[in-house]
Structure 1
């Protein structure tokens, strides 16, 4: 009885403990997910995008020999960096890398690379100002982190260096291709960024006037300086010994009285501030001395007429701004004064400003009296 029972339960036990394997799993070898798109065999499991829950009635599923439905293969992605999660960034980075590699190989074929150090230093400079990370991220439609931005700008710097070599060597076609790619990543405010911090070239107009701009604290001064016109023809002094009679001397004195006096050789000048003389505009002697100091240091008292328009601030700030503008105006008329003014720090804008008031304090640093109760 036990033998019959054991023989009857054997197929059931064998079915429960050892379930049969699927036929297609036994025949199909395992393929990694990264190699599935390159494999010709069917997938082991359907991808989520392959499952079409809203199938049409006329669509027919493909089945294998045993009648098992075969899932449809997913088309390969358009970009090789599709699975990286940042396909747009890596595609652009790959294009810039390929441009750098092709440009380097072209320069090597033309025997322009490697370039000696003395030849590289003699090349004309081409300063580049790239777009910031935010602007570049908007163009590439990705989040441009600092590491990605550094990688991109490093490649652009190499391409810019190759563009310098190609331009100096006369390779117009290669230089044009690299410049077209570099212009995409250059900032639109490149000209303003390169000229920032540089001193503007000052000059005199056709009337000999110079226009300069001075600053001090919150005051600004626009200064016009004109050289004082000296007498063009000096008058001859009459020798009294050559006059024969008193009547002749009286007649000459009546007709030409200026000929008996020395011409005025010391020029006079004026300093007008908002159409007001300096003595009336600045009541404090220290302010007047501050304005005239650049002219005294240069030794040109009375050599220039100064007209200025001053705005903002108080008397100290306005006098300092006017002195700054006069110093730059004297440098326009006499460039040799540059070393003297630089040593005396007259060309340097005084950076001292009033410190801002802090919240919770009476002024910048002054606190209210502490009261215990």
Structure 2
């Protein structure tokens, strides 16, 4: 009994001190909380006032883009395609297609001129062909509205540009005839001079540069058609495309250079199909299809 009374007397001051120690921080924390709340209210009021002024002036806000193409890599090019498609859909129901559209088709700019007319830094060959195909669709409609005529005139060569004639070919003082040839994405500059039948392509022998036999045969086609095999040397610089396109581009350049040496060979080369450029190109792959024409397998059940 006595021991319990002693324990109670000893523990009472400790409990009183603990309660005082706990109550004191609570009072201090409450005061700090109230002061921080008042400061936060003042800062919030100032921030809301600044935000109201910010909304009034609209400074720091980005305006909504006028076209969804803004978020693409080439907005100007994509906007042009959308405009061409929109005009065609608008005028197709009220217009008729010209049967012989090739006879009235405008003379469009080349890729460099089309790049400047579109307003972009560069156009790929596939992009250029796509723009020209859509322009041909609009040009095949009749009658055409003033808006369509204005758009077509933007990409059409002027009379001065159409009046420019090709530069005359000639044999230089070294007996060389220079000509250019193109096929698909390949472009070749060819020098032809009388010699022993040697042929260099980009500094290499033609037999080592072209591994396929059909490519080597394409190089000899103009000489075989005119029975001039082994009588001329050829030096060619070619770039772009694959081996087949490069070989046929060089073949076209050789044929043009032979015409510079002897214009009377034109009929022979034309009958052999060596003078006319082959305009065919690989058809592009379509979205949702395996290739250009081939489609994915479809099973109903």
Structure index of larger Rg = 1
TM-score range, shorter chain: 0.3 to 0.5
Task: Point out the structure with the larger helix share.
Answer: 2
TM-score by length of 2: 0.46
Q: TM-score, normalised by structure 1?
A: 0.38
